[in-house]
Each structure stands twice: as structure tokens, then as C-alpha cells.
Amino acid sequence: MSPLQSLLADHRAGHNVGLYSVCCSHEQVLRAALQVAARRGTVLLIEATSNQVDQFGGYTGMTPPQYRDYVQALADAEGFPRGRLILGGDHLGPNAWQKQPAAEAMAHARVLIEAYVAAGFHKIHLDCSMSCADDPVPLPDAIVAARSAELAAIAERTAASHGLPPPVYVIGTEVPVPGGEASLAAGLAVTTPAAAAQTLEIHRQAFDTPALRDAWQRVIAMVVQPGVDFDHSSVHDYDAAAAAELAGFLERQPRIVFEAHSTDYQRESGLHALVRDHFAILKVGPAATFAYREALFALAAIEAELLPAAQCSRLPQVLDEVMTAQPRHWQAHYHGDADTLRRLRAFAFSDRCRYYWGEPALLDAVRTLFANLERHAPPLALLSQYLPEQFRAVREGTLANTPGALVRHRIGLCLDEYARACAANTAGPRRHNASSAPPNLANG
């Protein structure tokens, strides 16, 4: 049993514990995540998304082996044990190629799955829910499950042929497409128990073959919509009462938990309640890069107070210039007049500026910012004004007054909320233990 399976087994045994998943490729976010997990002595789950990392490089320019090496190198640099690092692949399937005919898209998806598993990614989210160019819309559940099972069979063979531990799987996908966000204007519907039961049963049937029966026992979670999401300017908070029937359904299933996507910006009390209600895997991504952007803008404001304009990084302005010159990552998502678009590019919760931090002009601006504030350490009064939490840590002697440390501390405050929610849930009494529930849909 892998550390991930062991932790989730503890959850199903009645302990209010869970696991958060950091879905990001940004170096400062990953370093902050490694530091939080090291300080707490926990495992760390880091996931790459199918549009972020694939056999062609994705939008990060990294293949699965390259992403693995990148994350492991960061772990080594932070002194984090590789044995406590878990890699996952999110929304793995034909998503990136859905504009192609299904045969072509699935051919790419087969290579994608093989590349992820061969590179040592242990947690595999099978997502074949999207319609390809010649598919019906919406795609029937039976086709979704059959395609997922086909990819699982490839994952099983790949792990065995490489001498790797067999993967664990996540099924289901009642969430926005990777990299996207829903509009909350029309409200947000919680997955019904009937819909969850249908997803579970139809996947169980698709896995009911000699090659996949053992793999079905390693389906650890199902993605559902617990009623949490965010858009550019608002957050839909978790309502435990609205999700009570869904949580009750899970208690009647052995072994599995729910995986909650788009939990960014939830109140910490909501994160605790989600874990209590069996949403034991919490995904976070844009909130972490949003915190990174907040920290950089604060440092840029300090820089502007300390130095002549000609010596400053102009980081906020450079970010907007780059995004305006290359609008493909935000133009279809942000709408409004010029002032509204400018604010959204910088400050939207959807944080589509996260796609731009690797651009050369922004890399140069961040280097200039850091170099300026390494030569001219932020005065405490300016830290108090622009980074008050970091000011307090510096005053306590627990944080170095350097730009990198300040940025990672700001990100770490976000991730610490997830770590606390997953470590010792205090959001009220645990729903009754389902470990003795009669076998039913989730049995292999």
C-alpha cells in the first residue's frame, strides 16, 4: 500500500485526515509547497495537468520525464525526501486533442498515459469525458468509461513493464476543463447521489475484465462537484448542508473518497468541512500562483518606494505589456472595457497571468526585482505596509528579509490552510464511519 492509499485508508477508518494536491509547475510555488510539507513532516502530492505537461511539452514545454526531474531536483535542493513525494497526472485523456477525431485524439491519449506512468507518476486521474470532433455531445457515460478503462489498461502494462508500483486511479470529472473556470452567475449544482452512483457503476463495469479487476481495487477517488468553485471575481463557498446527501452516499461505498477540484480561495473552515465530509483530496492551483503574484506586486511597490524609477523592475507594468501583446491565454475568458480588462489581467481570481511567468521579459523583471531588494533590503516599515504577515515573521526572527523568502512565505500561508485542514480536521463531528458499510457499487 502506497503512502497515499494508507492515508486515505485512515480517512475511511474514521480519522479526519486528507491530502491536498498542488497543481502547479511554478518553481516558487513548488519550493513553498516542499517547505510546508517538510516543516509538517507529511507527504506532498504534486500534480501536472494534461494541458500543462504532455509528450509534446504542453504549455510548460516539459514532457512527463522532464517534469519529474524538475520536481525531484527542487525536492533535492530543499532537502525533501523523494520517498515522501508523490507525483500525479490530472485530467489525463484526449482533452488537449478534442478538436481532432476521436481515433486521433485517443491515439495521443494512449501515448500520454504511457509517458506519465513510465515517468513514475503514481496517481492517475482518468478523464475521457470530453467529446472529440466526431463524437456526440454530450459524450455518453458508457463511452467515457470505456475509454478510461482502455487508458487504465495501458497504465497497468506500462507500470509492470517498468518495474514500477501499480498506479492508483481517480475517475469522474464534474469540474471545469483544466485551465478553465465556470461562471457562477447561474449558480452551482452539487453532484447528485444518483449521478455519482451511475459514474461509479459504469466505470466498475468497464473495469470488470481480467486485466483490470485488480486495478479497480486501486480506484481511490471519484471527482464530483461538492458545490465549490470560483470565477474571476467571486468564490462559491462550500455548503455542507447542500452536500450532505452526496457525503452520505460516499459513506455507503467502501474504500473510495471524493476528490474536490477548484477548492482555491475557500475559507479554511470550508476546507476542514470538505475533508470531514469525505472530500479527502483537495486540489489547489490558481490560489497559489495568485499568492505569488500578490507577493511580487507588494515587493514591486516596496522597490518603487526605495529606488529611482529608471532602476526599478516595473514588474506589474511588464506583466500587463506581455499579456496584452500575447492575449491567447486570457482573451476568450476576460470581457469588458479597457480598464476592466486591465484589472482582470492583473487581479482576477482565475489568475490567467500564471501562464506568462515563464516569458523572457517577465523572467528578467523578476530577476531585477529580486536583485534590487537583495541589495536594498525592504525596510521594516515598508514590509509592514505591503507584506504585514511577513513583517511579523521577520520581526519574530523566523523569516529572512530576502525577496525569495518573503515570496515563498506568502505562498506558504495559502498552502498551510490546506495542510491544517488535511492534518487534523476540527470542523465539527465526523459523519458516521462507513468502514463497516455493506459492499455495493465500489466493490470489484
Residues 83, 188: Cα–Cα separation, whole Å: 39
Contact criterion met (CB below 8 Å) for 73 and 49:
no
> Domain-by-domain residue ranges, the chain?
3-284, 289-413
Show the cell assigned to 163: 518495474
**What local confidence, expressed as pLDDT, does residue 173 receive?**
85
What 8-state DSSP symbol labels residue 438?
A: P
CA 169 – CA 272 distance, rounded (Å):
24
Asked whether 269 and 228 are in contact (CB, 8 A), the reply is: no
> pTM here?
0.93
Cell of 269: 473552515
Alpha-carbon gap, residue 281 to 8, rounded angstroms: 9
E strands within 32-109? 44-49, 85-92
| The pLDDT of residue 2 | 86
pLDDT digit string (tens) for the chain, length 444 residues: 888 999 999 999 999 999 999 999 999 999 999 999 999 999 999 999 999 999 999 999 999 999 999 999 999 999 999 999 999 999 999 999 999 999 999 999 999 999 999 999 999 999 999 999 999 999 999 999 999 999 999 999 999 999 999 999 999 987 655 555 555 655 689 999 999 999 999 999 999 999 999 999 999 999 999 999 999 999 999 999 999 999 999 999 999 999 999 999 999 999 999 999 999 999 999 999 999 999 999 999 999 999 999 999 999 999 999 999 999 999 999 999 999 999 999 999 999 999 999 999 999 999 999 999 999 999 999 999 999 999 999 999 999 999 999 999 999 999 999 999 999 655 555 554 433 333 233 333
Per-residue model confidence (pLDDT) at position 88: 98
Centroid of chain to Cα 326: 25
- Number of Cβ atoms within 10 Å of the Cβ of 13: 11
Q: Is 82 helix (H, G, I), strand (E, B) or coil?
A: helix
Is 3-284 assigned to CATH 3.30.530.20? no
φ, ψ for residue 125 (rounded to 5)? -90, 110
Task: For residue 221, give the nearest of 172, 270, 284 by alpha carbon.
Answer: 172
C-alpha to C-alpha distance for 250 and 258, rounded to whole angstroms:
8
Question: C-alpha distances in angstroms, 309 versus 287, 293, 341?
Answer: 30, 20, 25
Reported in sequence order, the residue ranges of 156-288 that DSSP labels E, i.e. its strands, are 168-171, 219-223, 229-230, 235-236, 257-260, 281-284
Q: How far apart are CA 265 and CA 349, in angstroms?
A: 8
Cis peptide before 138 (omega within 30 of 0): yes
- Cβ atoms of residues 174 and 224 within 8 Å: yes
Contact 295, 369 (CB under 8 A): no
Does the structural domain 289-413 have CATH classification 1.10.40.30? no
Rg of the Cα trace of the chain?
A: 22
* CB-based contacts of 82, cutoff 8 Å, min separation 6: 72, 75, 76
Looking at residue 444, its pLDDT comes to 34
Question: How far apart are the C-alpha atoms of 387 and 301, rounded to whole Å?
Answer: 10
